[in-house]
Amino acid sequence: MQFDQQFNEGDFRIYVAAADSGRGRGYTAAVVVSRVRGAVNTPCEVYRDTCLAGGHRWISRNAALSYAVSVGREIAHTEPSRLAHC
């Protein structure tokens, strides 16, 4: 999968993508969260969902990316203990 954007959020790097759904109009969203600081083997992928919201189709690429960004940030901020296995 080709990711459209990446950014750092605390100890994590978040990658987001929006892909043509292939089943009609709309875009699906994807997110990958990797630990980049404090990881034994940097970077370490700690979360991946390539079909966010059960494959929901957003009307625009920007809307899908915006949702993926918000999910990535939520994961990084609310679930750090779950992501500590690296």
Q: What is the pLDDT of residues 24-76, one digit of tens each?
A: 789 999 999 998 876 566 778 889 999 999 989 999 999 999 999 999 999 99
pLDDT score recorded for residue 50: 94
pLDDT score recorded for residue 82: 64
Position 80, amino acid: P
CB neighbours (10 Å) of residue 63?
15
